[in-house]
Amino acid sequence: MTETTTVGSAAAPDGPRGSDELSVWPASTGRLPHGEISVGGVALTEVAERFGTPAYVLDEGEVRERCRTYRAAFPEDRAEVVYAAKAFLCRALVHWVREEGLGLDVCSAGELELAVTSGFPAERIVLHGNAKSPRDLDTALRLGVGRIVIDSASEVARLAAAVPPCETQRVMVRVLPGIVAGGHEKVRTGGEDQKFGLSLTDGSAQHAVARILDQPQLRLTGLHMHLGSQITTVKPYLAAVRRIVGMMAQLRSQHGLVLRELDIGGGHGIAYRPGEAAMDLTTLARKVRAELVSGCAAAGIGVPRLIVEPGRAIVGPAGVALYRVLAVKHTGNRHFVAVDGGMSDNPRPALYGVRYAPRLIGRSSRAESVPVTVVGRHCEAGDVLAADAALPPDVRPGDLLAVPVAGAYHLSMASAYNLVGRPPVVAVRDGRARLLVRRESLEDLFGRDVGT
């Protein structure tokens, strides 16, 4: 691994991508004649012709390399890397994550069932959720999930009552460290007055710990936190670790409790467009470790095993979304390019204001790029995939557009709005393309409608 690894950049910065224009694309990206682009040795126009559009392309090699980069930054002898499945999950990805030595973090019975039935060891899975359903907890206990993160005081009694007699369940407590961080207000989860976790400030977290210690069916292994998403600086993590170590020292003093694990969550920021900031993973790992060791030494407690939960930083930069242009129009001073997808396959621009850098592929244009608004096909004024995108002014119906950094929170947040089926996921590697998730058909959608 290089001295500094930025999780928003691919693992081979000197590869075939070349210019800054392709800096946010997978490391395997290559330029072909006539404006063509390849990923994983496969031309993107070939993927579009074979599987149709819209479609998600996922570079398997990039995903695996990012898993390895995390394992190198957080060595197994003192840390655990757990992939956050909410970013994207399918059976193939379950296999990739397992083979690369990562654990898995799930948020529902559905994600848990998919992982275990795909062969992932349940003991290496962490279950999250601020409002876990009875089915979530029953499934976790039935399958033998490794840890359950308790998110509210009421969950303590519910979970303890559900644990079978003569058995115990390992749990952690999600703590609010009171640190606000993240790229958008809707993804900042470490401060007060939001739905996740238990506050350090008002004593809710300490109260939950005391309740757990009164339940012999539950075994508290550590504390958990998650500050937010798209965090690009190390400072918030260091401040949060200091506060959590203080709580661990307090619990040691009050209860004689020695906690062996500290999960600092994920949220490591990536670059969606060239020039944007991204988390420096090497610096994060080094400084968090140093802060944890020094803080524990000062508090007179043992150093817990560190757990990190990257999701977006593993799969986000490995994905590319493909669209076909359906219409082009000029309205006032705006240049609109409408494509055959939209907010049903990527709601994130509407939800969080995420900005992408789409690219024309499959043909060359000598025209100088101009600001263009790439919009979707849905009946919403907010159905905008990319505002102020730099594209040639001669983009026309039938052209193909490719949008990089599309591997996280696209399919997992997709919908069937306007009864438009969700796109397929196609894996590319070593010059081969294969279908991982098929396109959702009208038959799939109509089959759920059983009323008369």
State pLDDT tens for residues 271-286.
Answer: 999 999 999 999 999 9
Q: Are residues 87 and 225 in the same domain?
A: yes
Residue 14 within any structural domain of the chain: no
Please identify which residue in the block is written with the tokens 């019975």: 109
- Indicate if 251 and 156 belong to the same structural domain: yes
Co-location of 24 and 73 in the same domain: no
- pLDDT value for 185: 58
Picking from 315, 335, 350, the residue at the C-terminal end of a domain is: 315
For 117, the token pair is 């039935």
SS3 (DSSP) at 94: helix
CA 137 from chain center: how many Å?
23
Helix runs in 148-213, H state only: 153-162, 204-213
Is 400 a member of any domain?
A: yes
Distance linking the first and last C-alpha atoms of the chain: 60
User: Does 213 lie in the same domain as 186?
Assistant: yes
Same domain, 320 and 310: no
Question: What pLDDT score was predicted for residue 169?
Answer: 98
- pLDDT (0 to 100) of residue 192: 58
Both 146 and 193 in one domain: the answer is: yes
Distances (CA, A) of 101 to 69, 79, 111, 279, 436: 11, 12, 19, 22, 21
pLDDT in tens, the chain (452 residues): 333 455 544 333 333 444 578 999 999 999 999 999 999 999 999 999 999 999 999 999 999 999 999 999 999 999 999 999 999 999 999 999 999 999 999 999 999 999 999 999 999 999 999 899 999 999 999 999 999 999 999 999 999 999 999 999 999 999 998 877 555 454 445 455 676 789 888 888 899 999 999 999 999 999 999 988 889 999 999 999 999 999 999 999 999 999 999 999 999 999 999 999 999 999 999 999 999 999 999 999 999 999 999 999 999 999 999 999 999 999 888 899 999 999 999 999 988 888 999 999 999 999 999 999 999 999 998 999 999 899 999 999 999 999 999 999 999 999 999 999 999 999 999 999 999 999 999 999 999 999 88
- 165 - beta bridge partners? none
pTM of the complete model beyond 0.75: yes
Same-domain pairing of 308 and 402: no
* Residue 435 placed within a domain: yes
Residue 9 belongs to a domain: no
Q: How far apart are CA 249 and CA 255, in angstroms?
A: 10
On whether both 55 and 66 belong to a single domain, the answer is no
Q: How far is CA 348 from the centre of its chain?
A: 13
Among 262, 283, 315, identify where a domain stops. 315
CATH number at residue 387: 2.40.37.10
- Domain boundary pick from 299, 315, 331: 315
Q: What's 318's DSSP letter?
A: G
Residue carrying structure tokens 């193939």: 92
> 329 is in which domain, residue-wise?
20-59+316-447
Counts for the chain of helices (H) and strands (E), in that order: 12, 21
* CB contact at 8 A, 41 and 429: yes
Q: Both 374 and 301 in a single domain?
A: no
pLDDT at 229: 84
Q: Are residues 32 and 170 in the same domain?
A: no
pLDDT of res. 199: 85
CATH number, position 110: 3.20.20.10
The pLDDT score that the predictor gives to residue 140 is 97
Does residue 425 lie in a domain region? yes
Say how many domains are in the chain: 2
- Does residue 5 form part of some domain? no
What span, in angstroms and rounded, lies between the C-alpha atoms of 8 and 336? 29
The contacts of residue 286 (CB under 8 Å, 6+ apart) are: none
In a domain? residue 12: no
| Residues assigned a catalytic role | 379
**The two three-digit tokens of residue 109, written as one number:** 């019975």
452 falls within a domain: no
> Which residues touch 69 (CB under 8 Å, ≥6 apart)?
1, 5, 7, 11, 281
Q: Are residues 343 and 266 in the same domain?
A: no
What's the half-sphere exposure (Cβ side, CA atoms, 13 Å) at 46?
A: 15
Q: Are residues 409 and 272 in the same domain?
A: no
